[in-house]
Amino acid sequence: MVLVENKQVVLKDFVDGIPKENDMEIKIGKIDLLHPPNDDDNNKGFILVKNLYLSCDPYMRGRMRNFHGSHLPPYVPGQALEGFGVAKVVSSSDPDFKPGDFVSGVTGWEEYSFIRKNEQLRKFVPDDDIPLSFHLGLLGMPGFTAYAGFFEVCSPKKGETVFVSAASGAVGQLVGQLAKLHGCYVVGSAGSNKKVDLLKNKLGFDEAFNYKDEPDLEAALKRYFPQGIDIYFDNVGGETLDAVLANMRIFGRIAACGMVSLASLSGPQQMRNLYHIIPKRIRIQGFLQSDYLNLFPRFVEYVTSYYKQGKIVYIEDTNEGLESGPSSLAGLFSGKNVGKQIIRVAHQ
């Protein structure tokens, strides 16, 4: 037994509304580096990792509720949160992983975690040109969500018009850049002038606007898309989706991504424009990136290549230390982050 302290970000209790910083707390736990907890399996297949970076993602809100009907189980109050992370293998009883290997995948919000091999646990070789944390954003689940959603769900054609909500977020910023690389006209919405400035001047969107400055979203979209919207990559749902429906073109496509669910947690949505679906033959398609994992290698190759050519950029918002975990995650739901929200747990 080698017991060491293991700092954790713990869920205090289930959360019904929007997660707040004090729904979580820092706890100093202990971990036996030689034996996983609840080891029914004689330590078989367990991988002990030191967590380096953790990812704050909107879907995590769903796991903070006391709701078992989702595709992911809720977190356990009193225990560390889980989420995507980049980590370094300390020891392993799985022959595919060796001490010193870098991995990305679902891990605990703590210093050390025992994890097991699974479909989304990936070993990677660090690349001097690519920050480790990018495996949580540009080259991780959010980036892949953008890639699979845009290319596989939106059926984009060169010259089409694309609208992206939450456009400076972890997913949205890549959707817009992929659409530009594909020859589309791209407009993004975001919740601050700083984000709008980044969209226009750093991320290469054709236009961008602050939705908080637009009392009439339908009219705003009409200004930016006088001919209508061919593709809407929906990261927010709710009234934005409703305003978009009125501005869609015939045969338009809507990819429904993560945050619609979150918007809807707050209660019923007043939808005025659903009827546009029929005469405009609109397709709304919900999707999860995990259905497209066979495309992951192609995605990594595509994005890495464009990133190294300087044709894709990626904005991160990095906070230091597990202590920043509760405020970082809560900040996601008030739009405090600018770009992909990352927590740096430890330097290599």
From residue 101, how far is each of 19, 322, 339 by CA, in Å?
34, 22, 28
Query: Which amino acid makes up residue 20?
Result: K
> Minimum distance from CB of 256 to its own copies (Å)?
5
68 binding its own copies? (CB under 8 A): no
Using CB under 8 A as the binding rule, whether residue 265 contacts its own copies is answered as yes
Nearer to its own copies, 265 or 293 (CB): 265
Q: Which of 155, 210, 269, 318 binds its own copies (CB under 8 A)?
A: 269
271 binds its own copies (CB under 8 A): yes
140 interacts with its own copies by CB under 8 A: no
Task: Report angle CA 222, 223, 225 to the nearest 5 degrees.
Answer: 60
**Interface with its own copies (CB under 8 A), residue from 71, 118, 125, 310:** 71
In whole angstroms, the minimum distance from the beta carbon of 240 to its own copies comes to 12
d(CA 288, CA 63) in angstroms, rounded, equals 16
Task: By CB under 8 A, tell whether 264 contacts its own copies.
Answer: yes
* Per-residue contact string for residues 289-318; x = within reach of its own copies by CB under 8 A: --x---------------------------
* Contact with its own copies (CB under 8 A) among 26, 33, 106, 284: 284
Q: d(Cα 91, Cα 107) in Å, to the nearest integer?
A: 15
Do residues 81 and 60 lie in contact, with contact meaning Cβ atoms separated by under 8 Å?
yes
Distance CA 180, CA 198 (A): 15
Helix (H) or strand (E) holding 329: helix 325-332
305 Cβ partners below 8 Å, 6+ apart? none
Q: How far is the CB of 142 from its own copies (least distance, A)?
A: 15
What residues from 203 to 242 belong to the interface with its own copies (CB under 8 A)? 237, 241
The region of 73-81, 90-98, 252-260, 324-332 touching its own copies under the rule CB under 8 A is 252-260
**Total residues interacting with its own copies, rule: CB under 8 A:** 36
13 burial class (0-12, 13-18, 19+ CB within 10 angstroms)? exposed
User: Of residues 42, 43, 66, 70, which one binds its own copies by CB under 8 A?
Assistant: 70
Q: Residue 123: which residues within 8 A CB-CB, separation 6 or more?
A: 96, 97, 101, 102, 103
Q: Does 120 bind its own copies (CB under 8 A)?
A: no
How near is the Cβ of 170 to its own copies at its closest, in Å? 16
What are residue 317's phi and psi, to 5 degrees?
Answer: -125, 105
Q: How far is the CB of 254 from its own copies (least distance, A)?
A: 9
Please, are residues 11 and 77 in contact by the beta-carbon 8 Å criterion? yes
Binding site for its own copies (CB under 8 A): 70-71, 237, 241, 256-258, 260-265, 267-288, 291
